[in-house]
A and B are shown apart, each in its own frame.
Chain A
Amino acid sequence: MTSKQYWFNQVVGLTLILFGVALSSTTATGHHMIGLGLLIVASSHVIRSRRKLQAVKMNASNKNDGGAAS
């Protein structure tokens, strides 16, 4: 994952969280459960993409360290 993709994921994820909050607060249309579901999915998307970026960065720094040591 590149840093551009990470920021794209974050922006989309946070927008979806806003959608989720808005939908979960409406009871009249019966979409509050879907809103809550969206909230959970979007939050996990944001957290997972953050973890993935950290993993990519860690891999890159390990490779650099390995290269420097050898």
Chain B
Amino acid sequence: MNLDVGIAFFLLGAFAAAVRADILFPKALYQSLVLFLMIAIGLKGGISLVEHASWELLAQAIAVISIGFVLPVIAFPILRSIGELNRYDAASIAAHYGSVSVGTYAVAIGFLEASGITYESYIPLFVVLLEMPAIIVGIALAKRGAQPTQPQDAADGRPQSGELWHEIFLNQGVLLMFGGLLVGVAAGPKIIAVEPFFFGLFGGVLALFLLQMGMTAASQFSSVKRNGSFIIAFGFAMPMIGAVLAGIVGIAIGLSQGGITLLAVLGASSSYIAVPAAMKVALPEANQSLSISASLGITFPFNVLIGIPAISATTQALGL
């Protein structure tokens, strides 16, 4: 059958949750796996950034950032006019789907490496850049046309703008991946000292991460069903829209087949770590469980099981 190892572990986790098997997966271990994946991806990107730093890369980065601005603007009217969600919920979900998932990206890396497909190794830079714009657009969409409120301060339980900017630019994903990039750039060939740990164990750590994510996704599914069929359909539709848009940008900026696949996967993915934390601070009025359950219960499994292989097959079939 030749099923990808990561996908097999994901299915195992989902099965374990579905049959209510008593698997204890400590929260600290999950957090450690996420830290490992973010740093490993950042380091890999940093090493290649030294070789590829150029004006062309800067132009590519600007084009990639535009994806993060456009996707929430596409998602918002769908959520408002078809889904009939209120402004805050729609903006929050749009921000989740405009941002990216490092976990999905890690799965795509594993998939490409297992398939022997090469890609531009500086793409982690794009992952970092794509984390932020959607949060800003999401907040702008929520505030535009909303009822004016009193100036916000921490005393009445509302967030200060400093706290919000802190969440946007210094969240765990951005800091660790960007930090990893910088360490990779600064260390250069000396990175060999940590190479066996961060690069040699990548596949095994990813498998454990996916086992946990399979359990999480399966446990979120009942919550998704409660939220109605529209949000399920949206959780399937948005990755397809995002993949097409990001794929077109990937072709336009001249990425390789593997690079286009990775960028399309980033466009298809939705955040479930960085954006929820930022939205909790920026839009406390929004129903966070709605966006998290769509992102984790529908879009993440869809991308892992179907999206990544389908995107890869499409780029191969088109001969990109």
Known: A8-B82, A12-B237, A30-B2. A52 touches B229 (CB 8 A): yes
Contact (A8, B3) CB under 8 Å given A23-B309, A38-B306: no
Q: A5, B229: Cβ atoms under 8 Å?
A: yes
Instruction: Check: A15 CB closer than 8 A to any chain B CB.
Output: yes
- Interface residue ranges of A5-38 to B (CB < 8 Å): 5, 8-9, 11-13, 15-16, 19, 22-23, 26, 28-31, 33-35, 38
Which chain A residue shows the least CB distance to B236? A12
* Residues 46-57 of chain A, each 1 if its beta carbon lies under 8 Å from chain B, else 0: 001100100000
Q: How far is the CA of A66 from the CA of B78 in the complex (A)?
A: 34
Total number of residue pairs linking A and B with CB closer than 8 Å:
65
**A17 CA / B81 CA spacing, docked (Å):** 25
Would you call the interface of chain B mostly helix, strand, loop, or mixed? helix
Asked if B310 and A8 sit within 8 Å, CB to CB, the answer is no
Chain B residue numbers with a CB within 8 Å of A11 are 237
CB distance B233 to A34 under 8 Å?
no
Task: Flag whether A1 is at the interface (Cβ < 8 A).
Answer: yes
A34 to B229, CA, bound (A): 21
Bound complex: CA A5 to CA B306 (Å): 24
Residue B120 interfacial (CB < 8 Å): no
Does any Cβ of A come within 8 Å of B240's Cβ? yes
Are A8 and B306 in contact (CB-based, < 8 A)?
A: no
Q: Is the beta-carbon distance between B1 and A8 smaller than 8 angstroms?
A: no
Residues in A with CB closer than 8 Å to B306 are 19, 23, 31, 34-35, 38
Taking a contact as CB atoms under 8 Å apart, the answer to whether B313 and A13 are in contact is no
Compute how far the CA of A45 lies from the CA of B230 in the bound complex, rounded to whole angstroms. Answer: 10
Given A23-B310, A29-B2: A8 and B305 interface contact (C-beta under 8 Å): no
Check B82–A5 contact: CB distance below 8 A: yes
Q: How long is the Cα–Cα vector from A23 to B312 in the complex, in angstroms?
A: 12
Which of A29, A30, A35 has the most chain B CB atoms closer than 10 A to its own CB? A29
B residues engaging A (CB < 8 A)?
Answer: 1-4, 7, 78, 81-84, 228-230, 232-234, 236-237, 240, 305-306, 309-310, 313
